[in-house]
């Protein structure tokens, strides 16, 4: 399939051939669901922690004597039934991360790229950089394609440190490299700006396997 390539001013320059296996394939909802769940799980810190009755720093004495009070028998004051006591089956620090099959992840990314084309939110822009690293320069380019300041994704052909620096202060813009895409960002992005070099790299990166 062919798509238009725009200049940084928003003018049409030429057309670019996109790999149908990457940008025009059948959408796999299941792989997208699993890829996003995996990303969210891997981001979880997992530091929530509670103390059991054996870990609480509290009195070891009985709250009252064993017999003669008419109350039920009670052990020490660290029992979970008492205020200030331990917690039963509370959370402990744990690792929530897990891995999914590489083929499933690749299928999810190809499905999301195809979905962005289907929903007409993919825009291919000529290769550019921001040598000064200033946000103002990048913002002037982005506003030629995005006017509503909604979530926008910019896909780079390589790891451009100055361009990433310029994007740091644009709250609605998320920068990704072509070989480190995020399923969550691609799904929820309202506009996907892709550099021409990144599109060519994706043709090969996901097209051969």
Q: Is the domain of 105 the same as that of 88?
A: no
Cα–chain center distance at 7: 28
Q: Are residues 198 and 124 in the same domain?
A: yes
What SS3 class is residue 163?
Answer: helix
Q: pLDDT per residue over 85-100, tens digit each?
A: 999 999 999 999 999 9
Residue 36 lies in a domain: no
72 within a domain of the structure (yes/no): yes
Q: Structural domain tally of the chain?
A: 2
Do 162 and 188 belong together in one domain?
A: yes
Same domain, 62 and 122: no
Query: What backbone phi and psi angles, to 5 degrees, belong to 175?
Result: -100, 130
Beta bridge partners of 4: 15
Residues 6 or more apart from 90 whose CB is under 8 A from it? 49, 50, 51, 52
Give the structural domain span for 79. Answer: 45-95
The string of pLDDT tens digits covering residues 20-79 is 999 999 999 999 999 999 999 999 999 999 999 999 998 888 889 999 999 999 989 899
The answer to whether the pTM exceeds 0.85 is no
The verdict on 49 and 145 lying in the same domain is: no
Cβ-based burial of 16 (10 A; exposed 0-12, middle 13-18, buried ≥19): middle
């Amino acid at each position: 399939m062919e798509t238009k390539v725009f200049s940084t001013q928003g003018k049409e320059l030429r057309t670019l051939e996109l790999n149908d296996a990457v940008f025009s394939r059948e959408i796999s909802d299941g792989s997208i669901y699993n890829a996003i769940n995996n990303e969210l799980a891997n981001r979880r810190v997992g530091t929530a922690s509670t103390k059991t009755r054996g870990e609480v720093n509290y009195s070891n004495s009985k709250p009252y004597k064993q017999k003669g009070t008419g109350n039920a028998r009670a052990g020490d004051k660290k029992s979970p039934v008492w205020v200030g006591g331990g917690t039963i089956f509370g959370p402990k620090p744990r690792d929530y991360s897990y891995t999914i099959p590489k083929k499933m992840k690749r299928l999810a990314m190809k499905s999301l790229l195809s979905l962005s084309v289907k929903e007409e939110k993919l825009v291919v822009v000529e290769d550019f950089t921001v040598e000064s690293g200033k946000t103002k320069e990048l913002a002037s380019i982005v506003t030629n394609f995005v006017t509503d300041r909604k979530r926008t994704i910019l896909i780079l052909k390589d790891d451009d440190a100055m361009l990433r620096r310029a994007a740091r202060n644009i709250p609605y813009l998320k920068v990704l490299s072509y070989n480190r895409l995020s399923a969550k960002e691609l799904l929820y992005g309202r506009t996907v700006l892709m550099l021409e070099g990144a599109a060519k790299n994706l043709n090969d990166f996901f097209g051969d396997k």
